[in-house]
Amino acid sequence: MKFKFCFILIMFVLSLWGCALPRNINFDKRLFDENYNKWKSLNISNYTFTYRSFGFSRCIVDIVIKNNNVYDCSRDGYDGYEDNCKNIDGYFDGILSFYNEYNGKSYTDQEMFYTDIVVKYNKEYGFPESWYYDYYCPYNLAVDGNFDFKISNFDLTGD
């Protein structure tokens, strides 16, 4: 009887090994909302900044925003993961969309899946200064790490 129970328990555990399970992304949504609301309350519509992304490829973009629209965008490099010429609201939207798209999706331990979204916010204005998407990668794949993004050289241009 004891052997039969152990055998059934082992078979049950082994059957779960390859099953897809929902994976929740670690992300501080409350802090995100707090900083997004701070940014929106300041009603800043004219500014410049530099956006950088690092991952499988590199991209550096200098962006000029006038009346909350992209006025000028000069690229150095290409990042095929997203359109990089956008205003700060667009980066907030991108982070939230990423979270909503991947949070709670089911994956097995043999698949790559996202584990964390970590964001550092500007203390004065609330915009995301840097963020990264960390992910789990099975031992048999050749990639591991995260995708990093940064906003720097932020400057108001006559709001």
The residue among 61 and 83 whose pLDDT is bigger is 61
Helix locations, 2-113, DSSP H? 2-17, 29-42, 88-102
Check if the beta carbon of residue 23 is closer than 8 Å to that of residue 115.
Answer: yes
pTM of the model: 0.79
Contact 118, 134 (CB under 8 A): yes
Q: 142 near 56, Cβ under 8 Å?
A: no
Question: Which one, of 56, 57, 131, 117, lies nearest residue 88 by Cα?
Answer: 131
Please indicate whether residue 64 or residue 142 has the higher confidence score (pLDDT): 64
**Where residue 82 falls among pLDDT bands split at 50, 70, 90?**
very low
Determine contact, residues 131/35, Cβ cutoff 8 Å. no
pLDDT digits (tens, 9 = 90+) for 95-151: 999 899 888 887 777 677 788 899 999 999 999 999 988 877 776 555 555 578 999
88-102 and 29-42 helices cross at what angle (nearest 10)? Answer: 160
What is the C-alpha end-to-end distance of the chain, expressed in Å?
78
Q: How far is CA 86 from the centre of its chain?
A: 16
> pLDDT, tens digit, for every residue of 4-22?
655 565 545 445 555 767 7
* Average pLDDT, rounded, for the chain: 81
